[in-house]
Amino acid sequence: MSAQDKKPPVFASEAEERAWWEVHDSADHVDWSKAERVRMPALKPSSASISLRLPVALLERIKIAANKRDMPYQSLIKAWLAEKADTAPEKAEQG
């Protein structure tokens, strides 16, 4: 039986589909030899808007630092948070 003959089921939800694919091999259902590379330049990662209160002096220092790097201050804040999150030790690992 070829991959084309073995279609995946119709799913009621994304969660149901995710659970199904976690235990099934896509090679049994998709002919990957016919796959084509695609570009999605308009695809952006999802984000959430938050409100964050900062002391005015701190915000001004961040804006100056961002200006020196020629980048928006919100992008600099995101970069710093991502960097810190990636290097922060996990509490569970500490003991």
- The whole-number pLDDT of residue 29 equals 86
pLDDT digit string, tens, across residues 49-94: 999 999 999 999 999 999 999 999 999 999 999 999 988 776 655 5
pLDDT digit string, tens, across residues 27-41: 888 888 889 999 888
Give every CB contact of residue 73 below 8 A, 6+ residues apart in sequence: 59, 62, 63, 65, 66, 67
% of the chain at pLDDT higher than 70: 88
Q: What is the 8-class DSSP label of residue 5?
A: T
CA-CA distances (angstroms) from residue 13 to 9, 16, 20, 30, 40?
Answer: 12, 5, 11, 20, 24
- The whole-number pLDDT of residue 14 equals 92
% of the chain at pLDDT higher than 90: 58
Spatial separation of the C-alpha atoms in residues 65 and 95, rounded to whole Å: 36
- The whole-number pLDDT of residue 89 equals 76
Largest CA distance in the chain: 68
Q: What is the 8-class DSSP label of residue 13?
A: S
Spatial separation of the C-alpha atoms in residues 59 and 76, rounded to whole Å: 11
pLDDT digit string, tens, across residues 9-24: 899 999 999 999 999 9
- Is the pLDDT at 4 greater than 70, yes or no? no
